[in-house]
Amino acid sequence: MKRMPPDPSHWDRYQRSLQELAEQPPYTIYGLRRPVVEPGYLAGWCVEEGTHVSVGLGYGDEEGAALPDLLVTTLPPGSAEREIDLELELRADSPLPPETWVTSHEQLPQGELCRCGDRWLLRARCGTQAVLVTGRGGAQPARVELEPVVDLQPFVVARNELIERHRAARAAEPEPELAPACGIAAVRALLETALPGGSRDGRTTHRLWQRAVRELDGVLGCGPERADYLVTSLVNQLNQLNLAVPWYTGPNAPREAALEELLRHVGLRQPVASEAAQARWEEHWSTQQQAPLAPVTPAEIERRKALKQAWVAAWEAWERDRREP
């Protein structure tokens, strides 16, 4: 889900996409009626294969926290009939190592509830749409009431105000110190932040990213632009493994081994057991580089879905082969 602009140089394009979303929401977006939590802001949105698949509204100032107090994520029409793995959704943003997860389920009048530690995820139904409400700390799921959002513009304004406030606060802080690392070790240090339980400190991640690009360019001699492309691809593949590949968030899953495969394939240009998955990812990732506002035909959407499914299947085969040599 897009939360903050990836780079200041993308700010204008980022603002255009924000305004387009505010002026022409892809479908009805739901927000909190109760409890009353401020500020409410556009927390993020997700576009897959040219189509919006979720829009999230955050409630509560997330400064200093990995997540807002409450996050309301609206899925498209028809989603109410889909099976949704609440544990998988809750784990995707969990700051805890998977081995410590202990979850429970219960049914509330609002919908199905899943808990993990002090975090919870409520799946509500609003007409034909599923709405996921994530909370933490003292927020009570039994008090949640939802309503359609008539105007997204105030949420966009609040988002920009929150970004500017965070920027000012971070500018006043000393630069974070990084543990020494060079070459592929610097790329590994960045990728480890994308693993479950990895760092959620944005400034540290930014510095790790800059160093990873510089060091990868030094290893491959590919130039900074290509190195940034490769680092972005690596981070996104790990994030998508976390979101889309079922085994990845399971206890004792070979996440470190998967990370090693990525580093060897991209950073060292060595043959790896996940060669098929890497090839499918490169095909899928290249389709995601299309300009975000460019039209995507139905045929192209289906092609992209097929590419992603082939990538997931390749990683599932890799994991299966590890278990059954």
pLDDT tens string 65-114: 445 688 999 999 999 988 887 877 776 666 555 556 667 888 999 899 98
Q: Contact, 233 vs 227, CB < 8 A?
A: no
Per-chain mean pLDDT for the chain: 83
Largest CA distance in the chain: 59
Strand (E) positions, 154-197?
Answer: none
pTM over 0.75: no
Report pLDDT for 231. Answer: 93
Rounded to an integer, the average pLDDT of 194-211 is: 79
Q: C-alpha distances in angstroms, 271 versus 77, 160, 173, 226?
A: 43, 44, 43, 21
Q: Contact, 27 vs 129, CB < 8 A?
A: yes
Beta strands across the sheet bearing 119-126: 40-48, 51-59, 70-74, 129-136, 119-126, 111-116, 103-108
Rounded to an integer, the average pLDDT of 30-54 is: 84
User: Where do we find the tokens 């995601």?
Assistant: 288
Report pLDDT for 227. Answer: 93
Report pLDDT for 98. Answer: 57
Q: Contact, 176 vs 203, CB < 8 A?
A: yes
Backbone angles phi, psi at 222, to 5 degrees: -100, -5
Report pLDDT for 66. Answer: 46
pLDDT tens string 218-257: 999 999 999 999 999 999 999 889 888 989 988 788 999 9
Residue 318 has pLDDT above 80, yes or no: yes
DSSP secondary structure letters along 64-102: TSSS-SEEEEEPPTTGGGS---HHHHHHHT-SS-GGG--
Report pLDDT for 72. Answer: 94
Tell me the pLDDT band of 64, cut-offs 50, 70 and 90: very low
Report pLDDT for 325. Answer: 65
Report pLDDT for 5. Answer: 46
The share of the chain scoring above pLDDT 90, in percent, equals 42
Report pLDDT for 219. Answer: 93
Structural tokens at position 218: 């030094």
Tell me the pLDDT band of 179, cut-offs 50, 70 and 90: confident
Report pLDDT for 68. Answer: 64
Structural tokens at position 280: 């499918």
Report pLDDT for 78. Answer: 92
Q: Contact, 119 vs 94, CB < 8 A?
A: yes
Q: Contact, 210 vs 217, CB < 8 A?
A: no
pLDDT tens string 118-172: 788 999 999 999 999 988 766 788 889 999 999 999 999 988 888 788 777 767 7
Identify the helix (H) or strand (E) that includes residue 104: strand 103-108
Measured distance CA(96)–CA(70) in Å, rounded: 18
